[in-house]
Structures are given as structure tokens and as C-alpha cells.
Structure 1
Amino acid sequence: MSTARNFDSLSVEEYLAGELESDIKYEYVNGRVYAMAGGKNLHHRIASRALVALAVKLGDSECEAYNSDAKVRVQIQAKTYFYYPDAMVVCESNPDDDTYQDRPVVIVEVISESTRRIDEGEKADHYLSIPSLQAYVLLEQSVAAARVLQRNDNGQFEESVFTQPDSVITIDALDLQLPLREIYAGIAFATEPGSA
């Protein structure tokens, strides 16, 4: 989703208290808040299918899939960030009274041309700094494709790209497979600019 910038600087406590009262979701970037703009139906369809696929495949494991109403906190040195991923998997949850998660294992973002810069740049850098994170999945909005950054045995992130209809994303840490066909089921894409 794209964001509209708000230049008011807030403490973490002010931000979290305000979020409880607000009808609008805001992301928090080291004191700055950004109102989340609404996404297109296509974005929501892809994100919902990814969430359902994750939840079904997790079954009755100790891990749970969270939707885009759950935010993740990222702390880098003395800076704090809160983002609303399109979906995430958490195996070690914060207390139920918290309004965010600290230890996601998988984060999913649906990207479009308007969100690509932040999802592949700032958010990727921040998400990949989370010690618990094993995979960052970027799902394309305009075509059935995914880019996955996955932590290897040495603790480094390796990139895999999935572009074929029969491609299957494997999240090694969870022994979980996500076929692109399930995520993009029933979605027709325009093949050329201007086509419907």
C-alpha cells in the first residue's frame, strides 16, 4: 500500500496509544508516522489468498498466520519502526494484550509499482534485521510472480525468484510449501498496457 506522510514526531508510547483510538492505520518510522492509504481490490485478493494458504498449511502447528491488521515492531540500534505487513507468520507470539509482534518468522508484502521502492528498500532492510525472520516474501501485484529472501544455514539471506505458474515457494524453516497457483488462483492479469 502507498502511504501519505505526516510530519508530526511522536514517541513510541504516543504512537501506540494513538493507534488504539484511530480508525486509520499508521506506520511508524523512528518518530514519524505515515497514514496507510487503501489498496486496490487486486492487492487485497492476493494478500488474502497468501494469508489463507499460510494458515491452511500451518494447520495446528504452534505457528500462526496474521493478517494486515497486525503490525510488526523492528528495533535497530536506538531506532524503532512499526509496519503493517500484508501477512506474517509468528511462532513465538507477543502477549495477547500487545498490539504488535516482535518475532515474525515469515513476512509477506504484495508489491506494486507504487510500493516497490519502500517494500524492496527500507522495509526489506528493516525486516531482514529481525533475528527471528526466516523469509521475506514479495508477491507481485501485476503478474503471478514472487521474490523470496530466505535465511540460509549461515544466517545470510539468499534470493529466489518464482515466475512460472507451477512454481512452489518453499519456506525451509517451516517445512512449508506455497504454490503460486494457490496464491494467484482466479486472478486474471492484463497482458499488455491498456488491455483489460
Structure 2
Amino acid sequence: MSALADTRQPLDLPSDLSVEDFFDWLEQQDRRFELVEGTPLMLPNVRRSHARIVSNIDRMLQRALDPDRFLVTQGDFAIRTGPRSLRYADILVDEASDDLAARSTDRAILIVEVLSDSTAPNDFGPKRLEYQRLPKLQTYLIVDQDKPCVWEWSRRGEGWNDAPAIVSSGEVRVDALQLTLPLEEIYRNILMVSGDR
């Protein structure tokens, strides 16, 4: 495993932090962390392919959505998933708000995580379950960075589909936002994607 994928945690991390204490602590760090049940969890560094996929999706969402109704962010605005837990998604679509001092939301509508080997167990496991408890979330996407594949969970009434829809060609529908994300655009300048597979 390369140093870029190294997710070993420092040994001197604090524990039992409140969300407010975590934000204060985070300002003194030179690495990125999430907060899980009061304990910081270091986020991995990413490859260029990861960054490009995030940028491609961000660009599509920014073009498609009304900025007066929705805020699209890349990994720097926290999602409050519990009383002492904060996550940072690769892409987040939130309802627009006049609260410009807010540092987190629990009202995300769409969350996208771009998959890497080191994050897969978290993205498919604990993070997914935390996200799916958010009251406004309608769609959770996990995007593979090495092959054209998107796992899509959508809220159906009061619950979620048990197994994700797996999209490996064509487009991903995000009904809650009335838009589609074509795989060839998600993977633009990364992978050759055929819409007719």
C-alpha cells in the first residue's frame, strides 16, 4: 500500500470530543479528520483520478442546480451524523440556507463518495448507515475511481432500497434533484466509457 493510501491513525488523538471541541481542535491540524463518536478519524490523501471525478460531478451539479435553492460543496463542509459525529463527503448537495456561520448540516439531499481501497469498508459500511439516518437524504452514491461503476441507494418512501442499484453504463438518475449524471461525464478524462455496454 502506498503512502498516499496510508490511513494509520496518529497515536496521540484526543477522544470524547464534542462537535464544538472538535472544530476548535481541527483548526490546529495539518491533516484532515472526521469525528466519529467523539474521536477524530484521519482522512486519506487522494489520487488525481479521485480529484478529477469529484470535480467532474461537481461541475455537472453546479450547472444543473439552482444556486438559490441548493449548495454544492466538495469535501469541506461537515455533515452532522450524530451528536458527536461529523463526516466529510466528497460531494454534498444541501438545501440553501441563510445561516452563513454554520459549519455543518444534517439536511443533505445527495451525498457522493468516491471509492478507494482504504475507504471502501467505511463508505459501504458505517458511513452509509450514518448517512441513511439523515432525515432529508434522498440519494447516496459511491463512485469507483478505477472502473465505470456507481452504487446508488435511494430513499423509497420511509426506507431505503436494501441493495444498491449498480450502474456500469449509461447514467445515474437522481430523482430528488430531477437530474441525471452520465457515466461518460463522471469519468471524463479518466476512463473510456461506452454508453452502450
TM-score range, shorter chain: 0.7 to 0.9
Q: CA deviation at 1:92?
A: 4.5
What's the CA shift string for 1:128-184, capped at 9, x where partnerless? 0001100001000110110110011x22112211011xx111111111111111110
Structure 1 residue runs of 4 or more that deviate by more than 6 Å after TM superposition = none
Secondary structure in 2 aligned to 1:5? coil
Q: Identity over aligned residues, as a percent? A: 28
**1:44–1:117 distance in 2 versus 1, CA, 3 Å:** same
Q: Equivalences for 1:112-131 in 2 at 5 Å?
A: 112-131=116-135
Aligned 8 A contact 2:92 2:108 in 1: yes
Would you say how many aligned residue pairs link Structure 1 and Structure 2? 183
**Given that residues 94 and 102 in structure 1 are in contact (C-alpha distance below 8 angstroms), is that contact kept between their aligned partners in structure 2?**
no
Give deviations 1:104-148, integer Å, cap 9, x for gaps: 000000012221100000100100000110000100011011011
CA distance in 1, matches of 2:86, 2:98: 14
Q: TM-score when scaled to structure 2?
A: 0.85
In terms of fraction of residues, the more strand-rich structure is 1
- For structure 2, the 5+ residue unaligned runs are 193-197
One-letter code of the match for 1:89?
Answer: V
Pair 1:91-2:98 in alignment: no
Deviation at 1:21, TM superposition (A): 3.7
Q: Does 1:162 align with 2:167?
A: yes
TM-score by length of 1: 0.86
- Report the secondary structure of 2:121's partner residue: helix
> Does 2:173 correspond to 1:143?
no
- Measured in 2, the distance between the counterparts of 1:4 and 1:59 equals 40
Change over 3 Å in CA distance of 1:108–1:89 after alignment to 2: same
| Stretches of structure 1 lacking an aligned partner (at least 5 in a row) | 190-196
Counterparts of residues 1-196 of structure 1 (less than 5 Å): 3-6=7-10, 7-9=13-15, 10-60=17-67, 62-75=69-82, 79-93=83-97, 95-152=99-156, 154-158=157-161, 159-164=164-169, 167-188=170-191
Give, in whole Å, the separation in 2 of the partners of 1:68 and 1:108: 10
Q: Is the 8 A contact 2:18 2:84 kept in 1?
A: no
Contact 2:79 2:88 in 1 (8 A): yes
Alignment RMSD (CA, Å): 1.9
Mapped to 2, the partners of 1:168 and 1:126 lie a distance apart of: 26
Corresponding residue SS for 1:113: coil
Which string of whole-angstrom CA distances, capped at 9 and with x for unpartnered residues, describes residues 4-46 of structure 1? Answer: 4244202222101122343322100011101222111111111
Preserved CA contact (<8 Å) 1:94 1:101: no
